[in-house]
């Protein structure tokens, strides 16, 4: 919408205010969606429960049970809309007990594109607050085999403990709904914050090369310079 703000008759200039109305898809990364059967079939006979891995001009969904991946554009979405059944505020932390590669997976005929960035595995997990109770182990299939190993922490949805208000989910057969859907590995913050392994070298006046990392870092640290602290 365009609205006139000011008009200068002498210079014949106009100032306008533009207002845009944008409708945003109510799906975020790491959400789990439940597709209508027709939409799932049109995307290559995918399962109905999918994980959202990316949202930009298209919504990228991956099937954690088959590694099949699909991009949903705006035309496809608004033709048959769907919503997130599980959202990030419902994520639970799990402890990984074991990881096992999935061998030759029998895929449905006419399947779509398969992700090459992920690896299909069977994962045995237990909620982090229940580690040590063997009867609480849960086996689920996941697309995170490229990053998971025993001892890792991972975020996922404890499906059986979530009261999801979804008619599509209620219509699915019990054996089609996994107990747990894993979406993201938790990385150790200390690994991110550790210092670099390499050191910065510097040429001094006599031509010799010496390690002078500390002095160079101080030169670029504004807080250590009294002249800059005065501003």
Per residue in 199-229, pLDDT (tens digit) is 555 555 565 555 555 554 555 444 445 544 4
Contact, 110 vs 58, CB < 8 A?
Answer: no
Token pair for residue 89? 């505020």
Residue 198, pLDDT above cutoff 70: no
| Cα(6)–Cα(13) distance, integer angstroms | 8
Residue 10, pLDDT above cutoff 50: yes
Residue 122, pLDDT above cutoff 60: yes
Q: Please tell me the least confidently modeled range out of 55-59, 81-85, 187-191.
A: 187-191
**Cβ count near 128 (within 10 Å):** 13
Token pair for residue 147? 């990053």
pTM: 0.73
Q: In the sheet that 153-158 helps form, which strands lie side by side, from edge to edge? A: 138-142, 121-127, 92-101, 153-158, 180-186
Residue 230, pLDDT above cutoff 60: no
Contact, 150 vs 99, CB < 8 A?
Answer: yes
Predicted confidence band at 52 (pLDDT cuts at 50, 70, 90)?
A: very high
Q: For a pLDDT cut of 70, what percent of the chain falls above it?
A: 80
| Cα(181)–Cα(30) distance, integer angstroms | 10
Q: Is 137 helix (H, G, I), strand (E, B) or coil?
A: coil
How long is the chain?
231
pLDDT in tens, 155-178: 999 998 888 888 889 899 888 999
How many alpha carbons lie under 13 Å from residue 1 in its C-beta half-sphere? Answer: 5
Residue 69 makes CB contacts below 8 A (sequence gap 6+) with: 53, 60, 61, 62, 63, 112, 113, 114, 115
């Amino acid at each position: 919408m365009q609205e006139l703000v000011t008009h200068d008759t002498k210079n014949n200039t106009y100032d306008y205010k533009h207002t845009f109305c944008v409708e945003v898809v109510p799906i975020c990364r790491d959400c789990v969606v439940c597709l209508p059967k027709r939409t799932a079939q049109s995307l290559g006979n995918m399962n109905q429960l999918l994980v959202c891995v990316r949202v930009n001009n298209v919504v990228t969904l991956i099937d954690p049970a088959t590694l099949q991946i699909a991009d949903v554009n705006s035309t496809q979405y608004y033709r048959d809309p769907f919503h997130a059944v599980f959202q990030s505020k419902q994520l639970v932390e799990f402890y990984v007990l074991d990881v096992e590669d999935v061998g030759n997976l029998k895929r449905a005929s006419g399947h779509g594109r398969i992700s090459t960035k992920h690896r299909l595995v069977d994962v045995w997990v237990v909620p982090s607050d229940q580690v040590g109770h063997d009867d609480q182990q849960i086996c689920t299939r996941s697309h995170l085999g490229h990053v998971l190993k025993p001892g890792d922490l991972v975020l996922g949805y404890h499906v059986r403990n979530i009261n999801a208000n979804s008619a599509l989910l209620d219509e699915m057969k019990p054996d089609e709904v996994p107990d747990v859907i894993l979406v993201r590995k938790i990385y150790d913050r200390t690994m991110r914050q550790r210092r670099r392994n390499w050191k910065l070298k510097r040429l001094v006046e006599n031509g010799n090369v010496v390690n002078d990392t500390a002095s160079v870092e101080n030169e670029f640290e504004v807080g250590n310079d009294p002249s800059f602290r005065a501003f």
